[in-house]
Amino acid sequence: MFGVRQRGVAERIFSSKITVAVLVVVAVVLGRSVLNVYQKYQEAAANYARADKELSSLKDDQATFSAAVTALNTPSGVEDEIRRKFQMTKQGENLIVIVDDGSAAATTVPAAVSGSWWARVGRFLGL
């Protein structure tokens, strides 16, 4: 009896096969939970980066629109915008429209054809 050492309570509990199996299952469940939380963290970080990029884009748009509104609050700004959008001129001014030949095919507008109505129909039909 002198050679046999008595095991402690903790040693008896942790040396049991059932206890080890339960601890492994708990470790797997906790590890899976940690993995799920980490995936949620990565998703939230990606959403934050996307939202931050969208916010900076919206701030740029706001600055652009604010400048346009400020320009339109002045009479000269309104006049410039009307001239630009509607190609209007003041009385006594001339408007020149420059068309880039490289980007669009040149179109020709035939001059008004003189002659009778029947002559025009004949030319249309190729007679």
pLDDT band at 87 (very low <50, low <70, confident <90, very high): confident
Question: In whole angstroms, what is the distance from residue 8 CA to residue 96 CA?
Answer: 102
pLDDT band at 115 (very low <50, low <70, confident <90, very high): low
> Which of 14-28, 34-48, 108-122 bottoms out in mean pLDDT, i.e. has the lowest?
108-122
Mean of the pLDDT values across residues 97-117?
A: 63
**Using only C-alpha atoms, what is the Rg of the chain?**
42
Q: What is the pLDDT at residue 1?
A: 45
Highest mean pLDDT among 19-23, 49-53, 68-72, 121-125: 49-53
Q: Is the pTM of this model over 0.85?
A: no
Q: Which conformational region is residue 35 in: left (phi greater than 0), alpha (psi within -120 to 50 degrees), or beta?
A: alpha
Tell me the domain boundaries of the chain: 9-104
> Is 126 a residue whose pLDDT tops 60?
yes
Token code pair at residue 107: 């179109």
Token code pair at residue 104: 């669009």
What's the angle, vertex CA 65, arms to CA 60 and CA 66, rounded to 5?
95
